[in-house]
Every structure is written in C-alpha cells, then in structure tokens.
Amino acid sequence: MRKVLKLFTVYAKLYLKMVIQHKLGIVFFTLGKLARFLFLFFMIYLVFSKTNLVKGYSFNQMIIFYLTFNVVDTTAQLLFREVYRFRPQVVSGSFDLILLKPHHPFLRILVGGVDFLDLILLIPYILILIYFIIQLPNISLLLIAGYLLLVANSLIIATAFHIAVLALAILTTEVDHAIMVYRDLTSLGRFPMEIYREPIRAVFTFVIPVGIMMSFPPKALLNLLSPASYLLSLFASSLLLTLSLKLWNLALKKYQSWGG
Amino acid sequence: MKKYLAVLTVSFKEYFVYRINFILWRFRVVLNIIIPLFLWSAVLDRNPVIGDYDRTQFVSYLIYGNLIGTFVFGTRTFDISSDINDGKIINTLLKPVSFFNYHFAKEMADKLINLFFAVFELYLIVWFFKLQLIPPNNPILFLPIFLNSVLISYFINLTLSFLGFWTTEVWPIRFVFMVLLSFVAGNYFPLDIIPQPIYKLIMVTPFPYMFYLPAKILISHENPLLPTTSGYAGQSIGQLILFSYIWLFASYFLARLVWRKGIKSFSFWGR
C-alpha cells in the first residue's frame, strides 16, 4: 500500500510539472470553468426570480443540488483526468509500456494524472456548499453523515464509469469521446431528477444511475430519502463497480498489443 | 466548385466511418437540450408566463434556437489549429485548392449533417413529449440574420484557430469561447428575460447574434419591421440588425488580419 501511495504521489507530482508548463491553459481553463459555474448559478437565480418553488424545491435546496453535482463532478475530474488521455495511448501502442510496468495499470491510466487545477475550484465549491447547508432548517449530524456516505458512494459510481470508459477504449476503436458522453449524462444531475418528465426520469435514475449519483446525496441531506433508497444506492454502486471491473478484465483479455 | 463538392462528400463519408461514435455524438446533442427544456418547463408549470413568453413561445424559442444552433455552431475549424501546430497545414496550402473554400466545404458538411439529424431528433422530442410549437414567423427577416449568424460564428472560429500560429494552447482559449457561447448566446433561455442592464451589456457582444436574435425573430408574432412593434426589450430591431452586420464585418476583418499576420510568421520544417 505504501508503495502504491508513493507511486501515486510521484505520478501526481509529474503531472503537476506538466500542467505548469501550460500557463495559458491554467488561466483559460480555470476562467472557463469558473464562468460556467457562475452562469449556471445565475440561471438558478433567474429561475427563482420567476417562481418561488421548482418541483417543490426552494432556491437554497436547488443550489445544494447544483453544488453537490459540482463537488462530485470536480472530484472525479481531479482524480481521473488521465482517463481523458487513455484512448490515444491504446491507438498509438504506448499502453504496452504501461502494462509492462510492475504496478497495476490503474495507477497510471486511472489515477495517474491528478488534476490540481480542479482543486482551485473544488475548495470554493465545498465552502459555498457548507454555507448553504448551514442555512438549512432542521439539519442534523445524522443527515450530514447520510449525505457524506452517499457522496462517497457517488464517487464509487464515478470510478465505475471511468473504468468502463477505459475498457471501452480497448474494446472498440469506434468510440473516441465516451468520456464526454459520461460528462453530458451526469450533467443532467445538476438539478433534481423531478424536473425531468417520465420516462427520462426513470431511465436516468435506475438504468443510467445519474439520479442515484447526483440527486440522492442532497435528498438525504433534505431528509427526503427512504432507507430503501440508501440500500438501493449502495447496491447500485457495488454492482456498477463489479461490472466495470469485469468489463476491464474482458477488455484486457481482448487487447492486442502493438508490440515493438 | 467540383473540387469543393468532393471535399464536402468526403467529409460526409468520414462521419459515417465510426458509426457508434456518430450515434453517441448525436445522443450528446439530444442531452444538451433536455436540461433547459425541462428546467424551464418546471418553472412554467407554476408560472405560465415568463417575461413576454408563454409556454408555447418559450418552448418554441428553445427548439428553434437549438435547431439554428446545430447549424451555426457546428464547426470543423478546430482541425486548422492542430494542423498549424503539427505542420499539416502545409499539405493543404500546397494543394491546388483555395484554403478557405476547402475548409468552408468541410465546415458546411459538418453543419449540414448536424442540421439533418437535429431536425429528426428535435421532431422526436417534440412528438414524444407532446410539446406545442408556434409556426415559424418572419422568414424574410430571418434568412439574412441567420446567414449573418453562420458567418459570424465561422469567422470567429477561424480567428481562434489561427491563434495556432502563435501558440499550441488554442484549446483552452476555445474552451472559454464555447462556455461563453453556451450561455451568453441565449442557448438556455431568451436573453430578454434577464435584468435590463445585463441584457444590454450582452447585446454589445457578438454572441446573441448567433442564436438569440434569429430564434427570437422566428417566434415573434408581430412583424418586427413595422413601426408599431414594441421592439426587443427596449431595443429596436433596426438597432439589432445593425449590430449583427457590425459583428459580421468585424469578425471577417479580424479573421483576415489574424490570418495574414499568422501566415507571414509561420514556419515549419519540411514534410
């Protein structure tokens, strides 16, 4: 475990050095992400300037949904940035070199590129989220514990999705932006699932569990989640992680090295 | 002309080589309209009028706007910046074709494919969720403004790609542009429902002329050219058309200037 942590740190440091080389990129990506966050925040404000409640949710509650999405999404991006660069490694054959290394390939291709740029935004997101959570009436430690448990659970689901994207990159050369499909799918979770009509709501809650990932944690915080939903959430993450690991193993078996 | 038709045809064929990729791309396009459509529908359930828009007008704005957006925003110009960075642009420059016509043909292929499939996708959304739309209005005024929006978008995208002559980091700049385009152009809501000072500030930028203005013209009941028309949130249509042309010429001259400066400073080793 110590060796794994050491390697993780080494890769993270190397990635940081690489990022620092692109100063213009640091400025513009941070500005762009900040602008996107502020625009959507403004849109929620605009929505609530026209009505008091949206599907039974108040402004503060809607902001908690939005911020929870941002925290989960940004943490996943921070940890799994290297997944965005995996497919070219398969196509060019440099994945062979990673497989030859005496450590699990996930250490390189899944968490081998910790994106510190996302940390710049993650910290303020968390602080604003704490501010809005404190404003909630009837908040308790139990509800916060449930919320944190489900946020951790969402990150397991995010991990499963990223592993599946890695496997897809090996299994088919036809998909070059599966990760962007994942991003677009999860972006539906910026707002409570109740705003979507059936069957979209059911599909994005149970078939592609965006709702479980992004909407269940804030619902737990607002005391709107049944114990069965907690269990469903934990079951979904375990199932998805198991399936994604099986898919990865299958992909590795199918992988044809470029050699050289 | 024949050469550019061939480029257009080849570009079409390129899209269908990776079919799963193509399907996923179209799926992403559909996902992008779902959020604003349902979020505002949820608001309209409680509040039947937002600004000057009732439910049918608001939904029509989003649907027509997205249809316009698929054509206006569809672009292949990002290929140019990577071609500049890795020197491949030399191949295009040496070919007996006009660089700009060659890329415009590729651009049109992207736009036409986008539009063709978006018509079906949006029709499916409208049919499945039983959305009511108003028939498109003011086609004579719409067409030149729509053409302007296509050209403004093309020239700005070209300018951004030409930045590749000076930097390899074009993508971060383009990312900021895309974020601005997503929100300030009016993709998520008609811009005239926001507070007046912010609206007026946005109308000075080129973004609303690529999405908001053509979509708004299509859903306006009254003829915007009549002197009795109330205008667009305090601004006359004449003023907005003027701004649209100012941005068209400004973006054209900027693209031309950046190209001329860039191509003079460009050098690459032989291929």
Q: How far apart are CA A169 and CA A208, in angstroms?
A: 19
The domain in which residue A42 lies consists of 2-254
The number of distinct structural domains making up chain A is 1
Ramachandran angles phi, psi of A139, nearest 5°: -80, 140
Q: Does the beta-carbon distance from B31 to A197 stay under 8 Å?
A: no
Kindly report, residue by residue over A50-90, the tens digit of the pLDDT: 888 888 899 999 999 999 999 999 999 999 999 988 888 88
Ramachandran angles phi, psi of A66, nearest 5°: -65, -45
Q: How far apart are CA B248 and CA B156, in angstroms?
A: 9
- Higher pLDDT among residues A177 and B114, named by residue: B114
Ramachandran angles phi, psi of B190, nearest 5°: -65, 135
Outline where chain A has alpha helix (H). 2-20, 23-50, 59-80, 86-92, 95-99, 106-109, 116-135, 141-171, 178-187, 200-202, 210, 216-221, 227-254
Neighboring chain A residues of B184 at a CB cutoff of 8 Å: 39
> Are the CB atoms for A171 and A244 separated by under 8 Å?
no
Could you tell me whether strands B53-54 and B49-50 are parallel, antiparallel, or unpaired per DSSP bridges? Answer: antiparallel
Neighboring chain A residues of B121 at a CB cutoff of 8 Å: none
Which residue of chain B has the CA closest to A175? B21
Q: Does the beta-carbon distance from B21 to A188 stay under 8 Å?
A: no
Report the residue from A24, A46, A175 with minimal CB separation from B167. Answer: A24
Q: How far apart are CA B248 and CA A169, in angstroms?
A: 41
Asked if pLDDT for residue A14 goes beyond 70, the answer is yes
Determine if residue A154 is left, alpha or beta; phi over 0 gives left, psi from -120 to 50 gives alpha, anything else beta: alpha
Kindly report, residue by residue over A234-249, the tens digit of the pLDDT: 999 999 999 999 999 9
Q: What percent of chain A has pLDDT over 90?
A: 52
Q: Does the beta-carbon distance from A24 to B42 stay under 8 Å?
A: no
| 3-state helix vs strand vs coil in chain B, percent to 5 | 75, 0, 25
Tell me how close the Cα of A226 comes to any Cα of chain B, in angstroms: 24
Q: How far apart are CA B158 and CA A186, in angstroms?
A: 31
Task: Give a yes or no: residue A186 inside a domain.
Answer: yes
Q: Write down the pLDDT at residue B223.
A: 63
Q: ipTM of this model? A: 0.87
**Domain extents for chain B?**
2-265
Q: Does the beta-carbon distance from B176 to A54 stay under 8 Å?
A: no
Asked if pLDDT for residue A97 goes beyond 60, the answer is yes
Closest CA to A215 of A186, A248, A238, A249: A186
Closest CA to A148 of A239, A230, A66: A230
Q: How far apart are CA A127 and CA B139, in angstroms?
A: 50
Query: Mean pLDDT throughout B233-249?
Result: 86
Tokens of A128: 């604003």
Buried b (16+ CB within 10 A) or exposed e, B3-20: ebeebbeebeeebeebee
Ramachandran angles phi, psi of A9, nearest 5°: -65, -45
Report the residue from B24, B129, B172 with minimal CB separation from A29. Answer: B172
Q: What is the mean pLDDT of chain B?
A: 89
Q: Does the beta-carbon distance from B35 to A36 stay under 8 Å?
A: no
Q: Write down the pLDDT at residue A241.
A: 96
Lowest mean pLDDT of A60-74, B21-35, B147-161, B206-220, name the range: B21-35
Determine if residue A40 is left, alpha or beta; phi over 0 gives left, psi from -120 to 50 gives alpha, anything else beta: alpha
Lowest mean pLDDT of A65-69, B85-89, B228-232, name the range: B228-232
Kindly report, residue by residue over B168-205, the tens digit of the pLDDT: 889 999 999 999 998 899 999 999 999 999 999 999 99
Closest CA to A40 of A12, A21, A63, A60: A63
Neighbours of B124 (CB within 10 A): 11
Which residue of chain A has the CA closest to B198? A42
> Are the CB atoms for B108 and B9 separated by under 8 Å?
no
Q: Write down the pLDDT at residue A149.
A: 96
Report the residue from B28, B40, B176 with minimal CB separation from A184. Answer: B28
Asked if pLDDT for residue B222 goes beyond 70, the answer is no
Report the residue from B20, B31, B171 with minimal CB separation from A188. Answer: B31
